[in-house]
Amino acid sequence: MMMFLKRVVCYAIGLLFMAFGVAFSVNSNLGVSPVNSLPYVISRIIHMDLGNCVIMVFSFYIFMQILIMRKEFKWINLTQILFSTAFGKFVDFAKWVVGDFAIPTYAGQLVMLAISILMVAVGVSLYMGVQLVNMPMEGMTHAISEKIVKKLPFHDVKVIVDCISVGVGILLCLVFLGRLEGIREGTVICALLVGKIMKPLKKVIDPAIQKFCFQK
């Protein structure tokens, strides 16, 4: 029981890291992270809180997992809905904590973007390392890597999925807003770097999680 509670705590910490990564990316004004590009664009289109849009879009990602995995979909993965809801609330909390904080100048914006990328990469590595339930975006990416592009490793598939997500966000912006909102060079940089940064991070984080969560 104690081991399970430790895994849940590490999972929640991972989600919190990701949420603060979102807040920093929004305040950098260089574009939100790819995983939140669609929720952010939709929030601007329909004028809904970002946290609620995160929950809505992540529910769609769960539906895509069911379509891809079909009979192999494990129904325990529906608990992703609960974790998506928690993450949506964490995002709203992180945005409240960070507030309007921003580092002036373009160099400062790049620093905030770098912090965002690192936080997202750490967050994803943490919650995936405890081996509970993937978040919907990563769950969909995992399904694609297992069923559609089996020859590519997860990290490379994540880069592809992130880029597609950004592309869809750009299209929605142009169609419904007539301009780009929340998607800039920083979003593209995140799409290219988060998956790559995760690879060396997991070499450090995974052994620590193994020792803390799985060893008695």
Ordered by start, the domain boundaries in the chain are: 2-96+127-211
Looking at residue 3, its pLDDT comes to: 85
pLDDT of residue 111: 95
Tokens for 167?
Answer: 């592309």
Q: Could you state, in chain order, the average pLDDT of each consecutive group of 10 residues for the chain (216 residues)?
A: 87 93 91 86 91 90 93 87 89 93 93 93 89 86 88 81 88 93 86 83 90 82
So what's the pLDDT on residue 77?
85
